[in-house]
Structure 1
Amino acid sequence: MSVTPQRHRTRGRLIAGVTALAAAASVAAALPAGAEDAGRGHGHGNGNGHGRTVDVQLLSFNDFHGNLEPPAGSSGRVAELQPDGTTKDIDAGGVEYLATHLREARKGHKYSVTAAAGDMIGGSPMLSGLFHDEPTVEALNKLDLDVSSVGNHEFDEGRAELARMQNGGCHAEEGCYEEGKEFGGADFPYLAANVTDEKTGKPILKPYTVWKKDGVKIGFIGVTLEGTPDVVTAEGVKGLKFHDEIETINKYAKELDRQGVKSIVALIHEGGEPASPAYNYNCDSPGAGDGISGPITDIAKGVTSKVDAMVTGHTHEAYVCTIPDPSGKPRMVTSASSFGKAYTDTTLTYDRRTKDIVRTSVKSAESANHVVTRDVTKAADMSELIKRWSTLAAPIANRPVGFIAGNIDGRGAKTLETPLGDLIADAQLAYAKTLDPETDLALMNSGGIRGDLVYKASGAEGDGVVTYGEAFTVQPFGNTVNLIDLKGSQLITALQQQVSGTNEASPRILQISQGLTYTLDLTKTGAARVLADTIKLNGQPLDPNATYRVALNQFLAGGGDGYTELGKGANPLVGGEDLVAFEDYLKANSSAAAPLPVPKADRITIVQKPAGQ
């Protein structure tokens, strides 16, 4: 989803107090664009596969975002559709459980391959993010992940750091985190078919790989969304070009076909919005209408019929949908929620004679999403991994920074304005006023809020205590809080850009500080959904001709997430780190005796469409 990435400026100082840092290693060069690669070919379970056709199990997931421990609060739940049409929330996620579920799923399948559709790292909780996601890559290796596409978050810390994730080596600035142990990198290939070097025009990583076992060959092409530069800082994508997903996939599908690889799966870090939030919703049920909408529908309709299945991501939704390919044949398009809360199990029938996946006019594959429930035995190797990294992080992670009176939902909230969004905007406004007392308001992008603040203690700190680790999980990007001047007319335009232009189909609603109010009418279309005459600051109508001092993070100040008007601010001032501002606000406004109340999230008046529209 939309993000606010930037390298953590203070992490080196924090880590130094926990473990001695080795001399920094040179960042490994990016892998050259590659041709055919043999997959590890897990041969789990029984089955001889000697007939003309064999069943290949494709296990897949997406948008893991370094969630090694079970996600807290509503961020760690999935909705399950009940027989009576209602939904029930199920606690899900945690790599100890994901490993057990995947290993159980592989049993009895001689041909089993595991793939992912990007955003494995980035925007991660503290346990992984504090160590630049080395713990997550180690965990993915243990999961026997065969291949993954890159996502936009793989570029959070830039091309060189992505190359280190692939090739290994110690962090360029912080060195190695454990004495005598160097990070080994990913055992699986990261694919970036549509990401090229501006100067050479060549992919910065392999565009595709071929998984092989006993004569069965399946090609995987990996792409991220073409709009990655819109949701990553300019520094993160410096020197790179991002190309059209359809054109790129079709190009490499043709190349694989020429090599005799007829079975092809596309890993696409772009997705859609299903008609129901339930993971087990029947996307193709009769009379349901269009089961899915969003960018992936047009991509699926345009990608060559040489591609037999699509594993997607980015929208953090769960769906298993059939979308016709250009020849009219059904083709499976899947996504498995996010944060390791679900995985998809797809059966591809491989024809040894044609070397292709059998796809009829009725179906392309058998596929279903499965919840990563927490009622199974934890994988011991993952528990050990978490324990090892937790020991390194503990002195920092467990430090109390504030107190709350109840759950303050952010990422897991089901509303456009969230309590945590309001809290962060207020924190940034309070910090900005220490830099410039004339600051009027603060804006925060919802995609930069990566979790919830949960009242019930998950550790030994006690109910209602907010630790540094929990605050880090909410705001992990290390952005600065910046100040700019905007005319009232520019502010109106920026608010309208939430629901127009690149954000019209999937609105991105800014979280706003106390004092700013307006009405969002979702019965209208485009920019008209923001009622300009209702925008008020401290009870007074916004003056289009007046100049306002606005606080926002550097990602928004650069025009990220489609807010190009915010990128035109005058008199910029770069402040300190957003996480520090958040921590300072919690310390100043809460105590054990007087915990911070849950914000009401009532600054935006939302007029909803009638049910069924």
Structure 2
Amino acid sequence: MNRKNSKNTKWKLFNGSLVAALAITMAPLNIFPQSVKADTNGDIHVQLLGINDYHGQLDTWRSIKDSTGKVVDYSGGIEYLAAYLKEREATNPANTLMIQAGDLVGASPPVSALLQDEPTIRFMNELGFDVGTIGNHEFDEGVAEMKRLIYGGSNPKTEKYEAKYGKFTGSTMDYVVANVVDDKNEPILPPYVVKEVGGAKIGFIGVVTTETPTIVSPKGVEGVKFTDEVAAINKYAKELTDKGVKSIVVLAHNPGSSQADGSNATGRVVDIANATDASVDVIFGAHDHKLLNAKVNGKLLVQSWSYGTAFSDVELTIDPATQDIVEAKAEIVDTLHSKITPDAKIKAELDGYKADIQPITSQVMGETADILTNAANASGESALGNFIADGMKATTNTDFAFMNAGGIRNPLPKGTITWGDLFKVQPFGNDLVTMKITGEQVRTLLNQQFNAPPSYNKIMAIAGLHYTWTDKNDYGKKILDIYLPDGSKIDPTKEYSITVNNFMADGGDGFTILKSGTNRVTSIVDLDGFVNYFKSFKGPVSSTVEGRVQLVEVTPATPVVGEVTNKSTKVTGKAFADALVKVQANGKVIGTTTASTDGSFTVEIPVQKAGTTINVIASDAKLNVSNAQVKVKDVIPPAKPVVNQVDDNDMKVTGKAEAGTTVTVKSGKTVVGTANANYKGTYTVTLTKTLKAGTTLSVTSVDKGGNTSPTVTTKVVDKTAPTAPVLVTKVTSTTTSLVGKAEVGSSVQLKVGKKVYKTISNKKGLFTFKISKQKSGTILYFTAKDKAGNVSKVTKVVVK
């Protein structure tokens, strides 16, 4: 089977069709092309061309403006993306793979969406995409439709086009996802695939954000579970390395961004890079439509905006002997129209699809006076969001309307507006739902825009009210004041009628409070309501940012906090008048008080360990917050060290001291060695030479706060045996007086048969014994014992 007619690469597959193999086993794929020679230097050079968050944007162009706002270029469009990818592929045709990191489809414009995203899949097949993972939007219409797009099959909405395009056979790229399982905990798709390029095996593992169940309609994720991305990656990375695959690339539909120079890399992808095994070499990010090109924890991280306006060109250098990636670098390439000629064949095919839907999309709905942008200001409000929320409220005649920001996909251009333009703004086909909630539940709903931990703030478009919020407060307390159109504050106990879409009504995007709403009624499809509201305007439509959402940047004076030690039972300082002061340690409140009129405060606290971070938070009546942090200072000296016995043969001093302290051993004023006590509190100080018996050692330990323990002294013990005695006298059978030499002051013992004689050597080391005459052949045994009790070797003397 030749998977890629546009390339001279033959792919070896399992027996039978690839689709059948996948559908039956759901096992990891191993697909290897014929080897291609490495370069003249011996290294294998592999090119990975990657996109993310394409969202079926086949005919979408993005304008590029200069500093004055003048349009100077465009990017995007499948005909331009195709031209760029083919151009880059031609630089290394045998060793190039094309990959995508999820959200290839979903929230698509009409040219793809009205044909169930089949055109996007066909274009990716034609371009020769090799590997992809799924994003949250692949679940928009449920798991069955997602698998149909992958493996092929008919959909009633597109059957009429089969005569023109043939039966839809699915995707020719290998889809992988390791962290989505069915109710039997089996992966719904292969967790990874292995490609062999130029003799190098490269493993591709796919994962998708675990937030998917909260940002997709519950029906979309029925029957599947999302597991931790890091655990899944590490599991299958080990499986790959066990199979001898040393080069591993992760396609992660998770957010991440950096500066163009690679600095300030942030996001879930960065967390994944720091937590995954070192065998992972490259991670393609996605989901938040940002630029990412950075090295983190030895891994290359990339993301190339979205909608085909750019792509990632990753160059891998692989050692053919070790199969390891020895270098990985990337370029994020914008698909600028001015730099390339669009692909004519792709353009013609795109025009064919556009002609299919033209009778629907070209219907004129009205006009706009200016661009209605969906880009939010710093507070989170957008002109288009206001217009849509106003339309929802007017359509259903409720008090308030709320629209999730993720459901507004594109701006409305200036001028004539068609049905297709409106579809691009709201492509999901959700139903409007009305319900009743209390004023207090409205506050909860607004606070749920900032639920922790946020991948991004989910600030809604609103109508019928306005509010202030601050980013300084804790989660659940971000919302300050909520006002009605007449300027009065919302009544927490009163019931209000509201309008949302069914995605939100079912708790989507984390708005779980809406599941508690009463008197729920399903109304018109949101797009139909949007179209009707737009058409109701007699003249050009306009909308502005009105201050419905206001970010309040109020930061009170930072508290000044006094020293806190590991003996302290109070925290003192100065904030501002009548401030509510909370003291936290290890994330828990350990004391509170109200500051006096001059701002001074004293908070009683339990004694804290040295090194603990104390967070002092001061807030005013409007919940404006400031805080300061101090570290608990260590002022308690360590306990006396314990010193094990040291003798004159030892080359080390050992014992126990407070963990982490520095132990110093001195002889007089001379330091003979230092060492750190380990986490168990044991230490070993190595000496440069043995110490004389009787030497007095002083031992102390100093903690990280500079506190010194009491001094412990110990004497070096004599453990060296005396030299064996030497007899000066020649012993014969007539000898009765013996003279010899031994260590000065040692106790010399003579043993003759069962009789034992003892004496002390004098200042010159001489000793004398008086004995009776002994027979020839009798053996005399001499030993010396010093004052420490060490005994010499035995000296044997035979009577002549």
Same fold (TM over 0.5): yes
Alignment match of 1:184 (pick from 153, 157, 169): 169
- Give the secondary-structure state (helix, strand or coil) at the position aligned to 2:308: coil
Alignment match of 2:435 (pick from 468, 484, 491): 484
- Give the secondary-structure state (helix, strand or coil) at the position aligned to 1:170: coil
Match of residue 66 from structure 1: 56
Match of residue 759 from structure 2: none
Match of residue 182 from structure 2: 197
Match of residue 5 from structure 1: none
TM-score (norm 2): 0.64
**Residue 173 of structure 1, CA deviation:** 5.5
**Residue 307 of structure 1, CA deviation:** 0.8
Taking the aligned partners of 2:71 and 2:292, their CA distance within structure 1 comes to 17
Taking the aligned partners of 1:37 and 1:412, their CA distance within structure 2 comes to 45
**Residue 413 of structure 1, CA deviation:** 7.4
Aligned partners of 1:31 and 1:204 also within 8 Å? no
Taking the aligned partners of 1:413 and 1:388, their CA distance within structure 2 comes to 39
- Give the secondary-structure state (helix, strand or coil) at the position aligned to 1:206: coil
Stretch deviating more after TM superposition (121-130 or 203-212): 203-212
**Residue 42 of structure 1, CA deviation:** 11
Taking the aligned partners of 2:21 and 2:513, their CA distance within structure 1 comes to 38
The 5 A counterparts of 1:427-446 are 427-433=391-397, 439-446=398-405
The 5 A counterparts of 1:394-543 are 394-410=358-374, 416-433=380-397, 439-455=398-414, 464-503=415-454, 506-513=456-463, 515-531=464-480, 533-543=481-491
Taking the aligned partners of 2:289 and 2:392, their CA distance within structure 1 comes to 27
**Residue 606 of structure 1, CA deviation:** 2.4
Match of residue 12 from structure 1: none
Deviations 1:535-575 (A, max 9, x none): 33442211100001110000110111111112221111111
Structure 1 position 94 matched with structure 2 position 94 = no
Aligned partners of 1:408 and 1:420 also within 8 Å? yes
Taking the aligned partners of 2:551 and 2:105, their CA distance within structure 1 comes to 34
- Give the secondary-structure state (helix, strand or coil) at the position aligned to 1:497: helix
Aligned partners of 1:502 and 1:562 also within 8 Å? no
**Residue 184 of structure 1, CA deviation:** 1.9
Q: For the structure 1 residues 480 and 106, does the alpha-carbon distance in structure 2 shift closer, same or farther, using more than 3 Å as the test?
A: same
Match of residue 348 from structure 2: 384
Taking the aligned partners of 2:46 and 2:425, their CA distance within structure 1 comes to 39
Taking the aligned partners of 1:508 and 1:48, their CA distance within structure 2 comes to 49
Q: For the structure 1 residues 269 and 90, does the alpha-carbon distance in structure 2 shift closer, same or farther, using more than 3 Å as the test?
A: farther
The share of aligned pairs that are identical, in percent, is 35
Taking the aligned partners of 1:569 and 1:581, their CA distance within structure 2 comes to 22
- Give the secondary-structure state (helix, strand or coil) at the position aligned to 1:391: helix
Deviations 1:69-91 (A, max 9, x none): 133xxxx25689x9xxx999853
Q: For the structure 1 residues 415 and 500, does the alpha-carbon distance in structure 2 shift closer, same or farther, using more than 3 Å as the test?
A: same
Q: For the structure 1 residues 391 and 273, does the alpha-carbon distance in structure 2 shift closer, same or farther, using more than 3 Å as the test?
A: same
Q: For the structure 1 residues 40 and 576, does the alpha-carbon distance in structure 2 shift closer, same or farther, using more than 3 Å as the test?
A: farther
Structure 1 position 580 matched with structure 2 position 521 = no
Taking the aligned partners of 1:162 and 1:28, their CA distance within structure 2 comes to 18
Deviations 1:62-110 (A, max 9, x none): 0000000133xxxx25689x9xxx9998531111111111111122214
Q: For the structure 1 residues 415 and 67, does the alpha-carbon distance in structure 2 shift closer, same or farther, using more than 3 Å as the test?
A: farther
Taking the aligned partners of 1:466 and 1:28, their CA distance within structure 2 comes to 47
Structure 1 position 215 matched with structure 2 position 199 = yes
Taking the aligned partners of 1:89 and 1:323, their CA distance within structure 2 comes to 35
**Which AA in structure 2 matches 1:603?**
R
- Give the secondary-structure state (helix, strand or coil) at the position aligned to 1:382: helix
**Residue 373 of structure 1, CA deviation:** 0.5
Name structure 1 gaps, 5 residues minimum. Answer: 1-26, 285-290, 325-329, 359-363, 434-438, 456-463
Structure number with greater CO (CA < 8 Å, separation at least 6) is 1
- Give the secondary-structure state (helix, strand or coil) at the position aligned to 1:177: helix
Stretch deviating more after TM superposition (48-57 or 468-477): 48-57
Aligned partners of 1:42 and 1:111 also within 8 Å? no
Q: For the structure 1 residues 173 and 103, does the alpha-carbon distance in structure 2 shift closer, same or farther, using more than 3 Å as the test?
A: closer
Deviations 1:155-188 (A, max 9, x none): 1111111111111122155534242621121110
Taking the aligned partners of 1:397 and 1:369, their CA distance within structure 2 comes to 33
Aligned partners of 1:31 and 1:206 also within 8 Å? no
Taking the aligned partners of 2:342 and 2:206, their CA distance within structure 1 comes to 31
Match of residue 311 from structure 2: 343
Match of residue 370 from structure 1: 333
- Give the secondary-structure state (helix, strand or coil) at the position aligned to 1:236: helix
The 5 A counterparts of 1:5-20 are none
Deviations 1:240-297 (A, max 9, x none): 01110000011111111111111110000001243x5xxxx2123xxxxxx1222222
Taking the aligned partners of 1:408 and 1:349, their CA distance within structure 2 comes to 46
The 5 A counterparts of 1:233-244 are 233-244=217-228
- Give the secondary-structure state (helix, strand or coil) at the position aligned to 2:219: coil
- Give the secondary-structure state (helix, strand or coil) at the position aligned to 1:104: helix
Taking the aligned partners of 2:522 and 2:500, their CA distance within structure 1 comes to 10
**Residue 522 of structure 1, CA deviation:** 3.3
Alignment match of 1:555 (pick from 503, 511, 514): 503
**Which AA in structure 2 matches 1:543?**
D
Name structure 2 gaps, 5 residues minimum. Answer: 1-19, 556-625, 627-800
**Residue 336 of structure 1, CA deviation:** 0.4
Taking the aligned partners of 1:347 and 1:307, their CA distance within structure 2 comes to 15
Deviations 1:444-490 (A, max 9, x none): 000001101001xxxxxxxx221111111100000000011111101
Structure 1 position 299 matched with structure 2 position 272 = yes
Match of residue 602 from structure 2: none
- Give the secondary-structure state (helix, strand or coil) at the position aligned to 2:450: coil
Structure 1 position 310 matched with structure 2 position 289 = no
Match of residue 782 from structure 2: none
Aligned partners of 1:406 and 1:454 also within 8 Å? yes
Coordinate RMSD, CA, aligned: 2.6
Taking the aligned partners of 1:102 and 1:475, their CA distance within structure 2 comes to 30
Stretch deviating more after TM superposition (107-116 or 169-178): 169-178
**Residue 37 of structure 1, CA deviation:** 3.0
Taking the aligned partners of 2:132 and 2:216, their CA distance within structure 1 comes to 19
**Which AA in structure 2 matches 1:416?**
G
TM-score (norm 1): 0.82
Q: For the structure 1 residues 128 and 607, does the alpha-carbon distance in structure 2 shift closer, same or farther, using more than 3 Å as the test?
A: same
Alignment match of 2:214 (pick from 210, 230, 234): 230
Taking the aligned partners of 1:587 and 1:378, their CA distance within structure 2 comes to 36
Match of residue 321 from structure 1: 294
**Which AA in structure 2 matches 1:68?**
L
Q: Whose strand proportion is higher, 1 or 2? A: 2
Match of residue 7 from structure 1: none
Match of residue 551 from structure 2: 606
Taking the aligned partners of 1:39 and 1:423, their CA distance within structure 2 comes to 53
Aligned partners of 1:176 and 1:183 also within 8 Å? no
Match of residue 265 from structure 1: 249
**Which AA in structure 2 matches 1:59?**
L
**Residue 49 of structure 1, CA deviation:** 2.5
The 5 A counterparts of 1:104-253 are 104-109=87-92, 110-172=94-156, 174-179=158-163, 181-198=166-183, 200-253=184-237
**Residue 428 of structure 1, CA deviation:** 0.8
**Residue 338 of structure 1, CA deviation:** 0.4
Q: For the structure 1 residues 237 and 598, does the alpha-carbon distance in structure 2 shift closer, same or farther, using more than 3 Å as the test?
A: same
**Residue 189 of structure 1, CA deviation:** 1.4
Match of residue 542 from structure 2: 597
